[in-house]
Structure 1
Amino acid sequence: MDGAAGGSEGAVGAVVRAGGQGPGAPLATPGEGGVAQSLGNLVEATPAVFAGAVFALFGLGLLVWTAVRARHRRPVYEGAAPGRSATVAASVAVASLALGLWCFSRV
């Protein structure tokens, strides 16, 4: 029994020394030429993609809604002047789209 335990520890040590995935190593995906690459960038990029999608969808939706309301000569915000509310809403929509594109550029 002692010999079997010593053999498995030696095999794990050889894998770790060879640069393979030993205990506690990060996951890897097939990369260019079938060589494994670390998932570190993917894990860090996922929140940026999510935030970029949220900002971009919100900005696009707000911009479309503002354009439809302005085209029908309706106020975007009830109780405010139609021109002023459309200007503020369009500015927020463009800023949100810009922030979404900035998040996507961080990927």
Structure 2
Amino acid sequence: MAAPVSLQVEFGGGAELLFDGVKKHQVTLPSQPEPWDIRNLLKWIKQNLLKERPELFMQGESVRPGILVLINDADWELMGELDYKLQDQDNVLFISTLHGG
């Protein structure tokens, strides 16, 4: 059984507007049989934090193209993307690069 994981989840570049304008969220993910990874975190975010327009944040089980994901200030592509196993006190930042004109 994987222990609960405490994280700071942040949204920027306009992505915070989908989360009632709140940029920083201190979250504790509950215990579950498998270790928490980004894939499961995204499902949790969609169910628990996302307030509107999920299609602007997610596409399938991942984030939409145009949303940068940083894990502890490193590009998630270097960390294993959806398969990255979350660690207690990780900081996960989602930055939208999509802007209307």
* TM-score with structure 2 setting the length: 0.18
Which protein is richer in strand relative to its size?
Answer: 2
Which protein is richer in helix relative to its size?
Answer: 1
